[in-house]
Amino acid sequence: MKLENLYKKAIKTGIQNDLRDKEEIKKILKEEKGKYKKLKDEEVEYFDKDRLFNPFSDTRVLNGDLNTDVNKVIVGIDMEVGEIILTYLLNKELEQKIDLIISHHPEGFALARLYDVMKLQADLLANYGITISVAEQLMEKRIGEIERRLMPVNHNRAVDAAKILGIPMMCIHTPSDNCVTNYLKRIFERKKPYKLKDLTKILNKIPEYKKLAKLQVPPKIVNGSEDNKCGKIYVDMTGGTEGSKSIFEKYTSSGISTLVCMHLSEDYLENAKKANLNVVIAGHISSDVLGLNLLFDEIEKVEKLEFVNLSGFERISRNSKDS
Ligand SMILES: [Fe+2]
Ligand SMILES: [Fe+2]
């Protein structure tokens, strides 16, 4: 598969699994086209043209020619300088013939603009009955914080290593997180867990959560007890990084009783407790791996790939069996 086709398929799958109204995504891309047309000549070189077709700022090809043939990929949740040197050694010493490094967490200019994708969280909250002005204003404050936090980061470090060693590299973040969010939302809608213990039982049957449970990081109820009723469930696993810490009261006032997330900072959890919201932490790495596997299932429907698992990732395909 050409690198360009793999990239475009990842974007397409991300859009298909995006829980926003599809018209919303069309509007975002149209707006970008409008901005691009209005650029002055001296501004054109600073515009990232992928924004014209890719609504996910945290997903980009970071190094390599789009025409590269990709048969074998090395995939990890975090692909930093160490993993990139390891890839080089695998190719050089063990003749592994790895064509592409895929990181889940963003690197390079995809990390620098991670904040941009967080806007989608406001639309997801609005789908659950939270007033859009409240959702947008709380998110805008948080997006500003993340933008400023990312400004001093040496964000191109890993990409520079891949460049100097001549290894193509990309990161796939929100398209994969959209896949896991959509997958779990649909499972909960179908299986309708009654109590929190029924919800964790569903998670524990999924191979990615089973694997991390064996590594001592199982899904965990961090607020509420296993005999509490789930009520309305909200899966919060996409949109860049943690949203607003002031949102939890809005969840319960709009009817949500249970939050299922990948991880939650301590001060966020305190606010969730104050709002009497049940919270289940499904697991960070396990949820990220599940999202990537669901995304690769779609990519492999186009063409099979060979995988080298690294940095928390394990390829588990659902293509040949029902799930
Ligand atoms: Fe993720
Ligand atoms: Fe993550």
Whole-number Å distance, alpha carbon 286 to ligand 2 midpoint, is: 9
145 or 68, which is more confident: 68
pTM of the model: 0.96
Residues 248-287: tens digit of each pLDDT:
999 999 999 999 999 999 999 999 999 999 999 999 999 9
Q: What percent of the chain has pLDDT over 90?
A: 93
Would you call 44 exposed, middle or buried from its count of C-beta atoms within 10 A (0-12, 13-18, 19+)? exposed
How is residue 64 annotated by DSSP? Answer: S
Tokens of 83: 């993993």
Residue 241 has pLDDT above 90, yes or no: no
Q: Are 269 and 280 in contact (CB under 8 A)?
A: no
pLDDT at 46: 95
Ligand 2 centroid distance, CA of 288 (Å):
6
Quote the pLDDT of residue 243. 86
**pLDDT band with cut points at 50, 70 and 90 for residue 108:** very high
- Looking at residue 320, what is its pLDDT? 77
CA–CA dist 320, 13 (Å, integer): 19
Is 322's pLDDT higher than 50? no
Distance 130 CA to ligand 2 centre (A): 25
What percent of the chain is modeled with pLDDT above 70? 99
CB 284, CB 172: distance < 8 Å: no
Give the mean pLDDT of 135-152: 92
Mean pLDDT of 296-312: 97
The CA 241 to ligand 1 mean position distance, Å, reads 8
The ligand that comes nearest to the alpha carbon of residue 78 is 2
**Predicted pLDDT at 239:** 87
Please give the structure tokens belonging to residue 272. 């969730």
Q: 291 CA distance to ligand 1 centroid (A)?
A: 7
Distance 174 CA to ligand 1 centre (A): 7
